[in-house]
Every structure is written in structure tokens, then in C-alpha cells.
């Protein structure tokens, strides 16, 4: 009997021995003992230029700037390699990207600016909601929604999402206290506390982080909103909850969706979408001034900052809106073909109608689109008999046709 041994090629010794370490604030005071040991024992050190003061002179230095170029240089090296990242390696750092590009990574924790800020403020952070504006698409609406719903919010800032930006958005909040730290741990450290109005016009360095304490937390009482939860007014149409459930099923909204709600009426679709996903951006379009006011009141009732309300005819308004990922058309005001002609990007569209004329026009337009579907909803709900409250009728609502497709 012949036994064949299939040996794996000995490539493991060719892989660099990489340690990723949190460099804290860039000060020796905030380096952990094991990071200091790694600096002494590594042969090649990769870091941004702001950490040059930490690197022993006898070590080979690769500047961390263009990622693809830097990673190519690292892969050409052998021996012990140390990659320094700011703060702690596990908190908004390059670690996920490094894991995609290298194997055999060892991680050493560091002291983050978050920890330093909370220490300066004498505050714990175990229940804080942590956000980052550093190279991320954080909207003012999402930021304010998070602040209202949490006792403590911590925001890592950058040039655009700055302490000034945060304080400008928070300046009408009388119930919050803010702590700002810039260049923490350095000789140029700034640490300030006060109200948002105190800092709304003040400029801060790019390396800043803020802690917001909210004394009046808004805690939503339920996951989904019912019809009875909304403020109502006569003669302003509301999409009822049974139909909304199907609309949301067909919309297939995602966490970072941008929704147009055209013909928003009372705002039940806009408000429900924004309520269930506070990171979403919703644009409600409505031509009736009284309905516009009602949408605003419903948004305020549920402390929603991620709804923007636009008064006017859809054909005049939507060409100025940011490009949507999802569109709901609850009323077109006779402009259905014009609305579709103004949509300039791929988007998922759902339309609801009750008249055969609108259904016919919508079918002509949407049946030619990708993934077209249509469904009719006939909801029947229980209601007490007006002449005898001890008796209950099942009362039918008008059938609603719901069409969906993708542009």
C-alpha cells in the first residue's frame, strides 16, 4: 500500500508578524506598558506622522497615509511589524480594514479619547450611545434623534461634523449639557463644558470629541404606531394602519434609506417610517397647508428630527430634493406622469390609490418597470353600532390598490 502525503506549502513564515496597537492620544503618558514594549521590540513601525514622537530612532518607519500603497509596503517587509492606530484599536479604528488585508494580527488595546473625555468630565460611559462623524454620513436628524433618546451621547468629530456643528443643531435644547475635548492628552488640550449655545459659534480643532448629557430623555412607548396614536383633523386623509403595513412590506426600507412621501396627508407614512428607523431621512411632500401643519405636529409629538416637510405641488418640489432610494406616492394631485418623469435615479416606488382612474394610469406607467407587483387590500374592522353600543359591526373600508416596482 502506498501512502501519499500532501503537504501544505510552507508559506506561513512569509507572512509578516503584525501587531496593531492603540497609541492613545499620542502622548507617552497614555501608552500602556505592553504598547511601550511593542515599540521597543518591533523592527518596523507603521504610523501616521502625528505619532513620530513615539517611535524609537533605530526603527524602520513606514508612514501610514495612502492605504493601498502603505499596505503594499508592509506586505514586502519581514519580521515584527507594529501598526499604531489612534486611541484604542477596537473603537472606530483601522482594525476592520487591516483584518481584510492581513493575517496573523495581534491587537493591543489603548486608551481612547472617549475614555479621556469621560475622565475629564467625571462621567461614566457604560450606557452612552457612541456615534462617529469621522468620514461617515451622519445626518443632523439622526444625531438629534439619538441625543433625545439617550441619557449620554458621545460623538467623534471631524472637520465637517464638528463640535460647532453639533452645538448649532442642539442650540434649542435647554435640557442638555455638553462637554468638549480637543487634542486630549497633548500640550494643546482643550476641555470645556456648558450649554450648546455657548459653543455654537466657536471653532474647534479637527481632533475633537464631545459628550452630551440629556436630562429629559424621550423613550418611545412602542415599536409600531397605531392609527389612534396620531393627531387627526377632519378632511385630511390618513393611510390607515392595515394599509400602511402592506405599504412598508412593499417598500422594503433599509436603515439608511432616503424616502420621499409624496402626497403625505396627515403624515402617517412619513412619521411611521421615521419613528421606526431614526437613522432614515424622510422627505414629506404635501400641497395642503393644513396637512403640512398636521405633519409637523405629528413629527413633534414623537420627537422626530429626521423628517423634512416640503409644502407645494409634487411637480414643483421634488426636483429640489436629494435623490431618494425609496418613494411612496399616496397622492399625486393629477401629476403622476410628471412625478415619474422627474425621478432621475434608481429607486423602489410604491403607490397607493383608491380610484380606478388613478389605478389605470399608474398601471400603464409602472407595469413596464422592473419587479412590478400589484395587490388590492380590503380591510374590514370592528366598530360599535351607533344605535346600540352593545352590538358590533364589521365595517368595510374602501379597497386600496397598492402597486410597487423598481426604477
pLDDT tens, position by position, 152-169: 999 999 999 999 999 999
At 256, is the secondary structure helix, strand, or coil?
Answer: coil
pLDDT tens, position by position, 293-340: 999 999 999 999 999 999 999 999 999 999 999 999 999 999 999 999
Where do you find CATH 3.40.50.150 in the chain?
227-406
Q: What pLDDT sits at residue 12?
A: 40
At 325, is the secondary structure helix, strand, or coil?
Answer: coil
Residue of 190, 156, 191, 159 whose CA lies nearest to 86: 156
Dihedral, 246, 252, 345, 341 alpha carbons, nearest 10? 0
Using 50, 70 and 90 to split pLDDT, how confident is the model at 366?
Answer: very high
Cα distances from 350 to residues 189, 277, 281, 321, in angstroms, run 52, 18, 17, 18
Residue 220 has pLDDT above 80, yes or no: yes
Percent of the chain with pLDDT strictly greater than 90: 81
Residue 196 has pLDDT above 90, yes or no: yes
Of 57-61, 143-147, 369-373, 388-392, the poorest mean pLDDT is in: 388-392
Pairing relationship of beta strands 400-406 and 370-377 according to DSSP bridges:
antiparallel
- 114-214, which class in CATH? alpha beta
Question: Are the CB atoms for 194 and 206 separated by under 8 Å?
Answer: no
Question: Are the CB atoms for 222 and 208 separated by under 8 Å?
Answer: no
pLDDT tens, position by position, 259-269: 999 999 999 99
Residue 172 has pLDDT above 70, yes or no: yes
Mean pLDDT, residues 191-200: 96
Which is the CATH superfamily of the domain at 16-111?
Answer: Tetrapyrrole methylase, N-terminal domain (3.40.1010.10)
Residue of 167, 120, 124, 118 whose CA lies nearest to 147: 167
Using 50, 70 and 90 to split pLDDT, how confident is the model at 73?
Answer: very high
Q: What pLDDT sits at residue 6?
A: 42
Question: Are the CB atoms for 233 and 138 separated by under 8 Å?
Answer: no
Q: What pLDDT sits at residue 29?
A: 87
Q: What is the mean pLDDT of the chain?
A: 92
pLDDT tens, position by position, 36-46: 999 999 999 99
CATH code of 227-406, in short, is 3.40.50.150
Q: What pLDDT sits at residue 147?
A: 97
Where do you find CATH 3.30.950.10 in the chain?
114-214
**Helical pair 241-251 and 268-276, crossing angle rounded to 10 deg:** 60
Mean pLDDT, residues 206-210: 94
Q: What pLDDT sits at residue 385?
A: 84
Q: Collect all residues with Cβ–Cβ distance below 8 Å to 391 and sequence separation of at least 6.
A: 384, 385
**What letter does residue 124 receive in the DSSP assignment?**
-
Using 50, 70 and 90 to split pLDDT, how confident is the model at 13?
Answer: very low
At 338, is the secondary structure helix, strand, or coil?
Answer: helix
Q: What pLDDT sits at residue 16?
A: 60
Better pLDDT: 370 or 29: 370
Amino acid at each position: 500500500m502506498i501512502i501519499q502525503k500532501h503537504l501544505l506549502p510552507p508559506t506561513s513564515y512569509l507572512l509578516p508578524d503584525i501587531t496593531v496597537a492603540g497609541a492613545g492620544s499620542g502622548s507617552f503618558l497614555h501608552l500602556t506598558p505592553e504598547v511601550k514594549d511593542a515599540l521597543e521590540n518591533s523592527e518596523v513601525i507603521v504610523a501616521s506622522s502625528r505619532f513620530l514622537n513615539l517611535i524609537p530612532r533605530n526603527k524602520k518607519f513606514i508612514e501610514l497615509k495612502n492605504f493601498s500603497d502603505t499596505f503594499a509596503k508592509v506586505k514586502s517587509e519581514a519580521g515584527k511589524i507594529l501598526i499604531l492606530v489612534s486611541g484604542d484599536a477596537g473603537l472606530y479604528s483601522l482594525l476592520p480594514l487591516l483584518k481584510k488585508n492581513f493575517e496573523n494580527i495581534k491587537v493591543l488595546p489603548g486608551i481612547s479619547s472617549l475614555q479621556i473625555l469621560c475622565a475629564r468630565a467625571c462621567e461614566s460611559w457604560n450606557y452612552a450611545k457612541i456615534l462617529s462623524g469621522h468620514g461617515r454620513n451622519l445626518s443632523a436628524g439622526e444625531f438629534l434623534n439619538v441625543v433625545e433618546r439617550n441619557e449620554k451621547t458621545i460623538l467623534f468629530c471631524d472637520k465637517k461634523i464638528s463640535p460647532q456643528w453639533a452645538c448649532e443643531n442642539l442650540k434649542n435644547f435647554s435640557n442638555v449639557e455638553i462637554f468638549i475635548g480637543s487634542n486630549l492628552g497633548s500640550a494643546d488640550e482643550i476641555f470645556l463644558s456648558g450649554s450648546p449655545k455657548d459653543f455654537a459659534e466657536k471653532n474647534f480643532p479637527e481632533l475633537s470629541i464631545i459628550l452630551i448629557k440629556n436630562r429629559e430623555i424621550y423613550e418611545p412607548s412602542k415599536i409600531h404606531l397605531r392609527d389612534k396614536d396620531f393627531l387627526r383633523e377632519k378632511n385630511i386623509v390618513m393611510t390607515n394602519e392595515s394599509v400602511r403595513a402592506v405599504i412598508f412590506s412593499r417598500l422594503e426600507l433599509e436603515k439608511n434609506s432616503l424616502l420621499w412621501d409624496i402626497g403625505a396627508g396627515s403624515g402617517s407614512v412619513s412619521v411611521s417610517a421615521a419613528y421606526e428607523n431614526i437613522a432614515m431621512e424622510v422627505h414629506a411632500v404635501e400641497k395642503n397647508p393644513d396637512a403640512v401643519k398636521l405633519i409637523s405636529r405629528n413629527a413633534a409629538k414623537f420627537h422626530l428630527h429626521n423628517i423634512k416637510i416640503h409644502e407645494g405641488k409634487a411637480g414643483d418640489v421634488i426636483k429640489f430634493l436629494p435623490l431618494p432610494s425609496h418613494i411612496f406616492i399616496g397622492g399625486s394631485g393629477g401629476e403622476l406622469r410628471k412625478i415619474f418623469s422627474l425621478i432621475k435615479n434608481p429607486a423602489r416606488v410604491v403607490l397607493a390609490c383608491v380610484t380606478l382612474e388613478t389605478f389605470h394610469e399608474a398601471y400603464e406607467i409602472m407595469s413596464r418597470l422592473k419587479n412590478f407587483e400589484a395587490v388590492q387590500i380590503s380591510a374590514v374592522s370592528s366598530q360599535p353600532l351607533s344605535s346600540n353600543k352593545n352590538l358590533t359591526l364589521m365595517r368595510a373600508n374602501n379597497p386600496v390598490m397598492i402597486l410597487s416596482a423598481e426604477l
